[in-house]
A and B are shown apart, each in its own frame.
Chain A
């Protein structure tokens, strides 16, 4: 079979280092994926190893560390190799269009520590330690930097969510709601907020609090419009 021409091959070679995820994208996808896998707890996927897999993926997202640094380095190297040729490949033409200026952040940081922000925590009343009088004069406090949650927390969080599922399966919706309240506090800002919110809708439906369940379902759709769980909760209280 006729092989590709040198020009076609060169074009492909030039793009070898492109279209690869950077460290933060890898972490973000790993975290979402772990959440979706863990959501199997709620949507009824079988298998006892789901929380473990989710937790491990969470660790992939939170602590990619050396592995990511290594892969990014590889990308840097391949990128550096494939740096000349495309402009030469082109047929010369009067330079009516100047190349776009290089973006300021073209090069990746050399140490791609994943800067993962945990999802916003639900607003809870927090006592203000500063006296009211001085608060007016004090400068606005810097926003807190939210550290990635340790991996073990995700495992614990997924295990805790399983207890909610068990309660729902046993028809103990009030118990499920109590567990969810406790978990929302314990795992504030955790990775499985979305799954807990979905479980809450199901639990409310079970207790017969249809209006509240629907309100929560709407709130859920607003917060996570692309969630795979929407299909599960949309008709949670629907009775044929």
Chain B
């Protein structure tokens, strides 16, 4: 063994991330992910809190074997599943109303552009809502949140091959519904 150099300094262990840092950095991503995974507008704040409560409880056990983003999506998928199960008819009704009343940040977009973005978003939600949970989850993680296949498989607790198979089916269903939607002039649910 070579002797250690005289100026050797042991490497500082990496600092554990703090829940508030995770929140500040990732809340927008978690929020958007939960909405696309089917959490109603009326329940979104509760669902976001639930994700970060899990983060708070488990952060010390986060080993960094996966990316923080992947870990968070894994939690979000499960929280969204719980919320979808418990979402009441009232929440669905409020969701439909919310589509007409909530104002998404549209930056410096002109009024027409802002309407266009909102309508596109409504169309996306409408299409996602018609997909099976399994199809929606993989499509959201890979094609919308842009997780690599291996990380999406980790977040969904699937092996990569199964994840790929699901994605293939999900894309076909999504394509079909987008085509139907556009053929109807974007004004009706496919």
Residues of chain A at the chain B interface (Cβ within 8 Å): 1-5, 7-8, 11-12, 14-15, 17-22, 25-26, 28-30, 32-33, 36-37, 45, 53, 56-57, 59-60, 64, 67, 71-72, 75-80, 82-87, 89-93, 97, 99-103, 105-108, 226
CB-nearest residue of chain A to B47: A29
- Is A15 touching B49 in the complex (CB atoms < 8 A)? no
Contact among A19, A72, A78, A99 with B36 in the assembled complex (CB-CB below 8 Å):
A19
Q: Is the CB of A57 within 8 A of B20?
A: yes
- CA–CA, A12 and B128, complex, Å: 11
Q: Which residues of B contact A2 (CB under 8 A)?
A: 168, 171
Interface size of B by CB at 8 A reads 57
> Bound complex: CA of A146 vs CA of B179, how far in Å?
51
Query: What is the bound-complex CA distance between A85 and B123, given in angstroms?
Result: 13
Q: Is B56 an interface residue (CB 8 A)?
A: yes
Q: Main SS of chain B's interface residues?
A: helix
The answer to whether B32 touches A102 (Cβ under 8 A) is no
Name the B residues within 8 Å of A36 (CB-CB): 49, 53
Q: Which residues of B (82-128) have their CB < 8 Å from a CB of A?
A: 100, 103-121, 123-124
Instruction: Report which residue of B23, B52, B105 has the largest number of chain A beta carbons within 10 angstroms of its beta carbon.
Output: B105
- Contact: A20 with B121, CB < 8 Å? no
With beta carbons under 8 angstroms apart, the residue of B52, B104, B174, B186 that contacts A33 is B52
CB-based contact A86/B119 at 8 Å: yes
Residues A91 and B185 in contact, CB atoms below 8 Å apart:
yes
Which B residues are CB-close (under 8 A) to A11? 120, 123-124, 178
